[in-house]
Chain A
Amino acid sequence: MFTNRKSITGLVILGLFALLAALADVVAPFGPLEKDYTALKQPPSATHWLGTTHLGEDIFSQIAHGTRGVLLVGLTAGVLATLVAVIVGVSAGFLTGWRGESLSALSNVFLVLPAIPLMIIVASQYDDPSLFLISAVLAITGWAWGARVLRAQTMSLRSRDFVQAARANGEPLWRIIAVEMLPNLTAVIASSFVGTVTAAVLGLTTLAFVGVIPITNLNWGTILYWAQQNGAFPEFWWWYVPAGLAIALLGAALSLISFGIDEYVNPRLRSAGERARLQKKRTKRSTA
């Protein structure tokens, strides 16, 4: 599922961001909060590739350093949320009766609760939340979607022959889930993981932009927050455009990976474009 064009493009872009995050100290010409009072609010130039803020901080360096926070929180939230989603979703799909129903109801409730207001209210309680705490809050609001999808998949797998055979053989429940079902659910789990990371990145940057997450935590959203607070708007486009573009680019990369997985899971999507092009060739040939 990772070899088609869309996945590869997405993975490459993601890889570039990961490199940026890891090598930020090396790649960025300045520290993120290093102030250069001789160059305030400068448009992009040779020294400052993306210009400077109202305090002379290099914006490119800020974005480079901010990548770390975004990726860390995104991935952590994704892992946490997917873990919960797998446990709740697969169990809900496999168990019948009131146990399965109540787990399903639980995930439905979390799905319907509006995430951002909840996150705003919870996050505003803490003065200096750690990265892990932020990830946890994002995970709590984001696990339900994956759980629902996994439940649907598990339910359809449950009635498949090989699972029935395992049950008839007397395999213990945990073994059926771990050995028989999970391998078949990998594609769905991967897709849901990617989706959760995307949502976490958007959630994080939104919370940072709103000012709910304190500015000590550097990420692309905080850059936008400072831009907004310090009147960057609208003339100093180099301050607020790159950060948003970075978010969009990362999100797009993750979506591409997700499509790649989708096409793997649903073969009809795979060659849809090629088949139609062949159709055109054919009609041209027969009317020639």
Chain B
Amino acid sequence: MRLLLRRAAFYLFTAWAAITINFFLPRMLKGDPVSAYLQKNQGLVSPEAADALRTLFGLDTGKSLAEQYADYWVLLLSGDLGRSFSHGLAPVADVIASALPWTVGLVGIATVLSFLLGTTLGTLVGWFRGGRGDVIVPVATFFSAVPYFWMGLIAIAVFATGLGWFPASHAYGKGTTPEFSAQFIGEVIAHGTLPALTVVLASLGGWVLGMRNMMITVLDEDYVTVAQAKGLSRRRVVFAYAARNAVLPQLSSFALALGFIVGGTLVMELVFSYPGVGKLLLDATNAKDYPLMQGLFLVITLTVLVANLLADVAYAALDPRTRQGEV
């Protein structure tokens, strides 16, 4: 419990750091497109929106830095992230909210699937070391070095355009309106398979190798010898004794890798024109839509933090030693 509290405190601190970095980011970057925009579109922007933008971008030079910082916090806590230039001045929060579920759904499912599959494969390869399974090592090594987006390109070329099994882009068919119908869900699954498959395949290698190495290390531990001396079934020794212990460091590195995974999937969204936050960010960058960029960075960072916290909770649930505070 103590450990979780410490982790929670750390995440709060990191969240604060991320928000503060976000505060300084536009003030450090060159140019001032926001003022230019405001001047050009004076009639179109409501006073509140203009004020919000000024606070977010440090344009209210009348106030001291500390006051600006305080205003910034007030703005954030009320859920106002400014207005998006490239989306007809729609609130940034709304624009992000429509894209976030797609990313979380896709990345969440694909990453968890990849971790589970990779860990299981790694367990088996680690247990049967020296056997035919070892051929997986060079294969997994190669695959773990492949950039997500390139794998996505190949996947589209082979499976979508070549074999025609899956649609090549977007989350659902053109002209379809999102709703809770079986047909829509079917389309979502059809469109989501290829991107998900890409993420799974590209990240699988890393998990297999990591788990294999951990299994090999754990199999030398005394408690595994004891389990074998007790005459326990091989299945029990592999899973309840070896794998249950080997998976713990893997879970830690999963939590740490989340930031990196999110990055890779963002670009992959570009390849598939998938309407998630990744594509949104890239489009925003190209359109120099600073409010949206800033809002996205914040949201992405906070999402990664939440995911990290969940991974830590899972770790604490699996490792009884953490419950006494000392790890």
Contacts and interface: CB of A to CB of B under 8 A. Distances in A.
A–B in direct contact per CB < 8 Å: yes
B154 A244 contact: yes
Interface string A97-133: 0000000010011011111111011001100000000
Contacts of B13: 105, 109
B157 A233 contact: yes
A248 B263 contact: no
B56 interface: no
Given A108-B10, A210-B270, A252 B150 contact: no
Contact of A210 (B29, B262, B267, B296): B267
B35 interface: no
B176 interface: no
Contacts of B108: none
Interface stretch (A34-42, A43-51, A163-171, A267-275): A267-275
Given A244-B153, A272-B130, A206 B301 contact: no
B293 interface: yes
A272 B129 contact: yes
A193 interface: no
Nearest to A227: B153
B146 A248 contact: yes
A251 B146 contact: yes
B256 interface: yes
A279 interface: yes
A117 B281 contact: yes
Contact of A120 (B17, B128, B281): B281
B18 interface: yes
Interface stretch (B193-201, B212-220, B316-324): B212-220
A250 B144 CA distance: 11
A83 interface: no
Contacts of A118: 297
A198 B153 CA distance: 21
Interface residues of A, number: 57
Contacts of B14: 108-109, 112-113
Contacts of B151: 244
B308 A112 contact: yes
A241 interface: yes
Interface in A234-288: 234, 237, 240-241, 243-244, 247-252, 254-256, 259, 262, 266, 268-269, 272-277, 279-280
Interface string B284-327: 01100000010011001100110010000000000000000000
A141 to B, nearest CB: 9
A211 B149 contact: no
Nearest to B266: A116
- The dominant DSSP class at the B interface is helix
Contacts of A228: 153
A113 B259 contact: yes
Nearest to B30: A125
A250 to B, nearest CB: 7
B29 A125 contact: yes
Given A116-B266, A234-B162, A241-B154, A247 B130 contact: no
Looking at B147, B264, B270, the one whose CB has the most chain A CB atoms below 10 A away is B147
A55 interface: no
B130 A280 contact: yes
B217 A247 contact: no
Nearest to B10: A108
B154 A114 contact: no
A191 B265 CA distance: 25
A7 interface: no
Interface in B203-225: 213, 216-217, 220
Contacts of A234: 153, 156-157, 161-162
B231 interface: no
A228 B262 CA distance: 22
A143 interface: no
Contact of A251 (B10, B21, B134, B145): B145
A268 B263 contact: no
A248 B213 CA distance: 22
A276 B130 contact: yes
B285 A274 contact: no
B285 A115 contact: no
A269 B214 CA distance: 9
B275 to A, nearest CB: 17
Contact of A237 (B29, B157, B262): B157
A185 interface: no
A137 B138 CA distance: 31
Given A105-B10, A114-B304, A279-B130, A247 B153 contact: no
A125 B294 CA distance: 13
B152 to A, nearest CB: 10
Contact of B130 (A224, A237, A251, A274): A274
Contacts of A120: 281-282, 285
A117 B29 CA distance: 15
A224 B296 contact: no
Contacts of B25: 121
B141 interface: yes
A116 B297 CA distance: 10
B259 to A, nearest CB: 4
19 contacts: A108-B10, A109-B13, A109-B18, A111-B256, A112-B308, A115-B263, A121-B25, A124-B285, A209-B147, A228-B153, A237-B157, A240-B150, A243-B150, A244-B150, A256-B141, A269-B216, A272-B216, A275-B129, A279-B130
